[in-house]
């Protein structure tokens, strides 16, 4: 797989992975797979008051990442028509070497950089809201659709997926030669996020939808 990764050209100089370059992933389908498996994007912008990073729900459309929030959202306001950065990270394991200097984590991560545009078209706005709603669990078709006033109070921006890169780490610890033969344990602990049993609200006005009921026991990032 490393040889296959090496044969893919990075999208840009500023998304070229330099630290840990052997873990870089530039294949478009692999980066999209990580974005689809992720649940939260940490979005960074430069505001008048300095750098700001916030966790946000996102959706993946045709070559874009959609983000949304209230019209008063300072991050989206500063990021509209400006250069922003979005990072999605999935933690897959804790890696323990024979010395803490070489401890690590198994992960899948994607960094997206680019100029975000405000989505003003009504049809694209609705499509973006549905993609964000359905990104983790598809619930758009089992709940009330947003009203016109709710949509007017929402800002949606689109970040093109034309400048991004990924890093992936798997497997066990890498111990240095001087630790060979020492009596210390090393290995890794897989990490996953599993859905628990859904709990209905006291004012739930209908039976639990199957798409929610069937979540129990599933891995969020699979």
The model's pLDDT over 174-212, given as tens digits with 9 standing for 90+, comes to 999 999 889 999 999 999 999 999 999 999 989 999 999
Q: How crowded is residue 96: how many other Cβ atoms within 10 Å of its Cβ?
A: 18
Residue 19 — pLDDT band, cuts 50, 70, 90? confident
Reply yes or no on whether the pLDDT at 115 is more than 90: yes
Residue 1 — pLDDT band, cuts 50, 70, 90? very low
Compute the half-sphere exposure of residue 53: CA atoms within 13 Å on the CB side of its CA. Answer: 8
Q: Which residue has the higher pLDDT, 51 or 75?
A: 51
Residue 7 — pLDDT band, cuts 50, 70, 90? low
Full-model pTM: 0.90
The answer to whether 137 and 62 are in contact (CB under 8 A) is no
The answer to whether 69 and 154 are in contact (CB under 8 A) is yes
Contacts for 141-150 with beta carbons within 8 Å, 24 or more apart? Answer: 142/209, 142/211, 142/212
Residue 4: the pLDDT is 53
Reply yes or no on whether the pLDDT at 219 is more than 80: yes
Residue 78: the pLDDT is 82
Residue 30: the pLDDT is 96
What is the spatial distance between Cα 189 and Cα 106, in angstroms, rounded to a whole number? 9
Residue 140: which residues within 8 A CB-CB, separation 6 or more? 130, 133, 134
Q: Which residue has the higher pLDDT, 79 or 148?
A: 148
The answer to whether 61 and 39 are in contact (CB under 8 A) is no
What is the spatial distance between Cα 123 and Cα 145, in angstroms, rounded to a whole number? 14
Residue 72 — pLDDT band, cuts 50, 70, 90? confident
Reply yes or no on whether the pLDDT at 82 is more than 50: yes
* Residues 52-88 as b or e (16 or more Cβ within 10 Å = b): eeeebebbbbeebbbbbbeeebebbbbbbeeebbbbb
Average confidence (pLDDT) over 14-24: 90
Phi and psi at 15, nearest 5°, equal -110, 15
Which residues are registered as beta bridge partners of 113?
85
Domain range 2-191, CATH architecture? Roll (2.30)
Instruction: Report the percent of the chain where pLDDT is more than 70.
Output: 97
Residue 75: the pLDDT is 81
Residue 81: the pLDDT is 81
Residue 71: the pLDDT is 83
């Amino acid at each position: 797989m490393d040889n296959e990764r090496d044969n893919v050209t990075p999208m840009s100089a500023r998304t070229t992975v330099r630290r840990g370059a052997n873990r870089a992933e530039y294949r478009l389908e692999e980066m999209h797979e990580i974005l689809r498996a992720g649940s939260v994007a940490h979005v960074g912008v430069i505001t008048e008051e300095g750098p700001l990073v916030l966790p946000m729900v996102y959706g993946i459309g045709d070559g874009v990442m959609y983000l949304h929030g209230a019209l008063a959202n300072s991050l989206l306001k500063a990021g509209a028509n400006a250069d922003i950065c979005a990072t999605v990270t999935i933690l897959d394991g804790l890696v323990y070497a024979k010395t803490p200097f070489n401890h690590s984590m198994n992960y899948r991560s994607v960094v997206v950089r680019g100029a975000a545009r405000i989505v003003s078209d009504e049809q694209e706005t609705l499509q973006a809201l549905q993609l964000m709603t359905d990104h983790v669990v598809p619930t758009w078709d089992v709940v009330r659709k947003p009203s016109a006033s709710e949509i007017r109070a929402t800002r949606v921006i689109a970040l093109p997926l034309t400048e991004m890169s990924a890093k992936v780490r798997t497997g066990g610890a890498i111990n240095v030669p001087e630790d060979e033969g020492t009596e210390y344990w090393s290995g890794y602990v897989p990490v996953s996020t599993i859905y628990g049993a859904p709990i209905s609200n006291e004012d739930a006005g209908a039976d639990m939808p199957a798409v929610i009921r069937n979540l129990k026991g599933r891995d969020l990032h699979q």
